[in-house]
Amino acid sequence: MLIGKVTGSVVSTRKSDNLVGNKFMIVDILEHMQNGAKQIIAIDKIGAGIGEYVLVAQGSAARIGTGMKDAPIDAAIVGIIDDGTGLE
Amino acid sequence: MLIGKVTGSVVSTRKSDNLVGNKFMIVDILEHMQNGAKQIIAIDKIGAGIGEYVLVAQGSAARIGTGMKDAPIDAAIVGIIDDGTGLE
Amino acid sequence: MLIGKVTGSVVSTRKSDNLVGNKFMIVDILEHMQNGAKQIIAIDKIGAGIGEYVLVAQGSAARIGTGMKDAPIDAAIVGIIDDGTGLE
Amino acid sequence: MLIGKVTGSVVSTRKSDNLVGNKFMIVDILEHMQNGAKQIIAIDKIGAGIGEYVLVAQGSAARIGTGMKDAPIDAAIVGIIDDGTGLE
Amino acid sequence: MLIGKVTGSVVSTRKSDNLVGNKFMIVDILEHMQNGAKQIIAIDKIGAGIGEYVLVAQGSAARIGTGMKDAPIDAAIVGIIDDGTGLE
């Protein structure tokens, strides 16, 4: 998993049917956890707010681990870090 | 997921049987969402047009989340961003 | 998926039993589709020739989408691009 | 798999239900095994301590190989290296 | 798949139960096949020796394609290249 900070969200009205009801959060990945990309879009099942540090799971874990195995999801917020200020 | 802009498409006449009927879109990935590559080829089940900003799912999510679990697909357009102009 | 040009092949006599009968093609990935690596080894079920531009699927799509779900394959040529000359 | 050194852990009180009971370790990846990122967060089923060199499996292997196939986990510590001092 | 040269191995006494009996080889990835990382740890089911050029499969292919679908393995040596000297 990687850790990032939630900095916003994007809206998609026309989307895959099995994505309806999901929020698409913009997550700024901590610099030393970046594989190149500075940002990733992740669905949020935990209720993370802007500015919170979150744990993001990628790949099949994001679908299956959130109970959405048939949805086209490859990244999900799966936890909120209690104190992320020292991590950057 | 990542966000990119649809900039074109490619044609493949000789291809895997279970890819027949799909469109292969060229997606320019937003700079801060690139893991190195500036472009990716994604199938499109939503009907995205040239110039639109789209949400792309990768990996098994692209197959299973689009109802094409037996097709050799590793990237799919799964949503169109309502207003992507501020994202670049 | 990514696009690359077939530039050669490699021979492996001692290999996993469920790889027997496959060709291992060297694919030079188009520069703007590279995640770091300039080349990848992909199996070929389409019959691509040296110099042709091809569509490559990676991950589980390469196994499952080519009907070889039990083989240790993580990249496969799944289409030949009709006209790839303008893509580089 | 990759090898890294355990350097700490993070706490997440609000998290996915199927992550409860897991430890989230910060692993500093050996420089020549980094795909960009210097650190990764991995769950630990082996009982690795701070300063130990560990083997990390990523992707579906982290879920399925640790008996947690329904959890949103994409990286797991699956072994402790006996003598990792010469690897850096 | 990628090609690399076997340069050594690592020993892990404390490890996941379903990894027992496997060898963990250090593979130096050919420069033009690197996605950043210069080395990867792969299990070996073929019997590759130090100095040999090998084909490495990653992701779920490494588990399922080697008959170890329940093991936390994300990279496996699946073939030995007959003549790898011209590839570097």
Supply the CATH number for residue E76's domain.
2.40.50.220
pLDDT score at C15:
97
pLDDT of E86 over the 80 cut: no
* D34: in domain: yes
The residues of chain B scoring below 70 in pLDDT are none
- Mean pLDDT estimate for chain D: 95
Element (H, E) at D61: helix D60-64
CA distance B30 to B43: 18
Nearest CA in chain D to A3: D41
Confidence at residue D11, expressed as pLDDT on a 0 to 100 scale: 96
- In chain A, which residues have their Cβ closer than 8 Å to the Cβ of D74? 1, 57-59, 61-62
pLDDT (0 to 100) of residue E20: 96
Interval A6-22 mean pLDDT: 96
Q: Which domain holds residue D11?
A: 2-80
Domain count within chain E:
1
Both tokens assigned to C86: 């303008």
| pLDDT-derived band at D85, boundaries 50, 70, 90 | confident
Q: Is the pLDDT of residue A20 over 80?
A: yes
Comparing C-alpha atoms, which of E42, B57, A42 is closest to residue D72?
A: A42
pLDDT score of E88 more than 80 = no
Assess whether pLDDT exceeds 90 at residue E7. yes
Percent of chain A with pLDDT over 90: 92
Mean pLDDT of E50-69: 97
What is the structure's pLDDT at C86?
74
Q: What pLDDT is attached to residue A36?
A: 93
Contact, E19 vs E66, CB < 8 A? no
Residue (of E58, A20, C82) closest to B78 by Cα position: A20
Q: How far apart are CA E80 and CA D84, in angstroms?
A: 27
pLDDT at position E49: 94
Give the number of other CB atoms < 10 A from CB of residue A83: 9
Give the residue-averaged pLDDT of C15-21: 96
Looking at residue B86, its pLDDT comes to 74
Which residues in chain C have Cβ-Cβ distances shorter than 8 Å to E47? Answer: 14
> What element of type H or E holds C27?
strand C24-29
Q: Is residue D88 part of a domain?
A: no
- Put simply, the answer to whether A39 touches B47 (Cβ < 8 Å) is no
- pLDDT single digits (tens) D27-64: 999 999 999 999 999 999 899 999 999 999 999 999 99
* pLDDT at B84 (0 to 100): 73
* C-beta separation of A58 from D74 below 8 A: yes
Counting beta carbons within 10 angstroms of the beta carbon of residue E60, is it exposed (0 to 12), middle (13 to 18) or buried (19 or more)?
buried
Q: Which residues of A touch B61 (CB under 8 A)?
A: 60, 62-63, 71-74
| Spatial contact of E62 and C63, defined as CB atoms under 8 Å apart | no
Q: Up-side HSE of residue B75: CA atoms within 13 Å toward CB?
A: 25
Asked if residue D87 is part of any domain, the answer here is no
Q: Tell me: pLDDT of C87 over 90.
A: no
Instruction: Identify from C29, C41, C63, C64 which residue to disrupt to test chain E contact, counting E C-beta atoms within 10 A and taking the largest count.
Output: C41
> Is D36 within 8 Å of A35 when comparing Cβ atoms?
yes
What's the pLDDT score for residue D84?
73
Quickly list DSSP for A26-46: EEEE-GGG-SS-SEEEEEESS
- CA–CA separation, B44 vs B41, rounded Å? 10
E strand map for D1-88:
2-10, 14-15, 24-29, 39-44, 53-58, 75-80
pLDDT computed for residue C36 by the predictor:
93
CA atoms within 13 A on the CB side of A23: 14
What does the alpha-carbon distance between residue D36 and residue D57 come to, in Å, rounded to a whole number? 17
Which of the four pLDDT bands, split at 50, 70 and 90, describes residue A84?
Answer: confident
Task: Measure the CA–CA gap between C13 and B71, rounded to whole angstroms.
Answer: 29
State the pLDDT at residue E87.
83
The 8-class DSSP code of residue C50 comes to T
Give the up-direction half-sphere exposure of residue C37: CA atoms within 13 A in the CB hemisphere.
Answer: 21
